[in-house]
Chains A and B, each alone.
Chain A
Amino acid sequence: MKHLIVIILCCSSLAGAQSDFRYRAARAPRAPVAQPMPLAVGGSYFGKQPRLRSWVQGWGLTGTRPDAYEVRCEEVFTDCAVPILRTRAFKSEPFGMGSLTHTESAETWRGRRVELKAELRSGAVRGWAGLWMRIDGKDKVLAFDNMQNRALRGTSSFQWYSVVLDVPVDAERITFGVLLHGPGAVFIRELAFDEVDVDVSSTDLIGPLRAASPAGGSTGGSL
């Protein structure tokens, strides 16, 4: 049975009401019935922008320097158009990175191949930006991709990007998001998380590196 979670960050019309972005989580029924995507109220990072609360529920701003980053609406006049992960100041040189992050249980996805895809564009990104996803086991990272080898840089138009990972049977958590390193902004027009067929290639960056290591993947990546 097809199993599906879709999270869509929808652009609202210019005449949009309070909920400019709709955060949708839909799953086809299967046994056992999975818990819906968590809908906790967004963190204080978004407290001053009520429109963002509607779609960042269950998401958080994390990273090595989250204080240097923020999530905002791209505004023309007074209406939100596209959520943005950006540095607090374009003209400063923040170090570290920030991420708009979501975590959920891997239970529903075990034995499946999943894809995080988003329509993104970069704005004056002087470091790099991208999607990322990590599959955690009990005490080890099982798969990881941060688009480090195909990052968004500079200023670009909207394009679809994706990361695809397998969820092993011993996976416990799936964590994913949008990251930004250095000054600039990432515009997130749409974002979705879904199961994909096995003919869609995995983009795991860690498996090949472990296989090439002397230990052959038997160690490393501890949590």
Chain B
Amino acid sequence: MINKHLVADIVEQYVIGALDAESARFVEGHVAQCAPCAKLLQEEAALEVALHEVVRRKKVVSLNSRRRRIGAVVASAAAALAAGLVLVFSIEGEPPPAAQPKLRHCVDQSTASECISQGQFDGVITIGPDREPIIPRYDVTPGVGP
């Protein structure tokens, strides 16, 4: 009998695809034997689906899918089926990450101030109107001080 349960944070990471393969397999193995954790996974996966508005078709997803997030649904589907329920949705894969951050050139005098401020806020190196690099400060919080 399983008397320890997964924490919500690890389940959330599993659903969004943030776990590595080994951890993901661990979660999948656990929920297959643990009804409370399967229910938690099911809730997290359903929430993810609702938030991303990607419910497209009423169909149990393929068990052969490699996508982790789909894997979350598969695992919860297995648990749901075991509980006499039917899980009938699929979800999209994780959106691709942003491109590598690039130097931000703020050489236009008319917009330089705003451009530089945004660059500092985003934590990237900017090039000012004088072509000098402006270095972001990570150890100072605006309005809070160092």
The residue that B6 contacts in the complex, of A76, A127, A157, A181, with Cβ under 8 A, is A76
Contacting residues, chain B, for A123 (C-beta < 8 A): 13, 16-19
The residue that B139 contacts in the complex, of A76, A99, A124, with Cβ under 8 A, is A99
Q: Does B85 contact A (CB under 8 A)?
A: no
Q: How many residues in A have their beta carbons less than 8 Å from beta carbons of B? A: 59
The answer on a CB contact under 8 Å between A75 and B9 is: yes
The answer on a CB contact under 8 Å between A214 and B131 is: yes
Q: Does B84 contact A (CB under 8 A)?
A: no
Contacting residues, chain B, for A44 (C-beta < 8 A): none
- The 0/1 profile, CB within 8 Å of B marked 1, for residues 97-110 of chain A is 10101010000000
Stretch binding the partner chain, chosen from A142-150, A164-172, A195-203: A142-150
The answer on a CB contact under 8 Å between A132 and B138 is: yes
Stretch binding the partner chain, chosen from B57-65, B72-80, B97-105: B97-105
The answer on a CB contact under 8 Å between B101 and A97 is: no
Contacting residues, chain B, for A182 (C-beta < 8 A): 98
Q: Does A48 contact B (CB under 8 A)?
A: no
The answer on a CB contact under 8 Å between A154 and B124 is: no
Stretch binding the partner chain, chosen from A19-27, A50-58, A205-213: A205-213
Contacting residues, chain B, for A103 (C-beta < 8 A): 139
**A75-B5 Cα distance, complex, nearest whole Å:** 11
The residue that A155 contacts in the complex, of B9, B18, B26, B98, with Cβ under 8 A, is B18
Closest to A221 in B: B135
Contacting residues, chain A, for B133 (C-beta < 8 A): 205-206, 209-210, 213, 220-221
The answer on a CB contact under 8 Å between B18 and A158 is: no
Q: Does A90 contact B (CB under 8 A)?
A: yes
Within 8 A of A (CB), among B8-29: 9-10, 12-13, 16-21, 23, 26
The residue that B138 contacts in the complex, of A75, A76, A91, A99, with Cβ under 8 A, is A99
Within 8 A of A (CB), among B116-146: 120-125, 127-128, 130-136, 138-142, 144
Contacting residues, chain B, for A95 (C-beta < 8 A): 121-122
The residue that B121 contacts in the complex, of A90, A96, A215, with Cβ under 8 A, is A96
The residue that B142 contacts in the complex, of A64, A77, A78, A184, with Cβ under 8 A, is A64
Q: Does B1 contact A (CB under 8 A)?
A: no
The answer on a CB contact under 8 Å between A78 and B4 is: yes
Q: Does A151 contact B (CB under 8 A)?
A: yes
- The 0/1 profile, CB within 8 Å of B marked 1, for residues 56-96 of chain A is 00001011111000001011111000000000001100011
Q: Does A41 contact B (CB under 8 A)?
A: no
**Can you sample 30 A-B contacts with CB below 8 Å?**
A62-B138, A62-B141, A63-B123, A63-B138, A74-B10, A76-B6, A77-B4, A77-B5, A96-B121, A97-B138, A123-B18, A127-B98, A127-B101, A128-B101, A146-B124, A148-B100, A149-B100, A158-B20, A179-B138, A184-B18, A205-B125, A206-B125, A209-B103, A209-B127, A209-B133, A212-B131, A213-B130, A213-B131, A220-B130, A220-B132
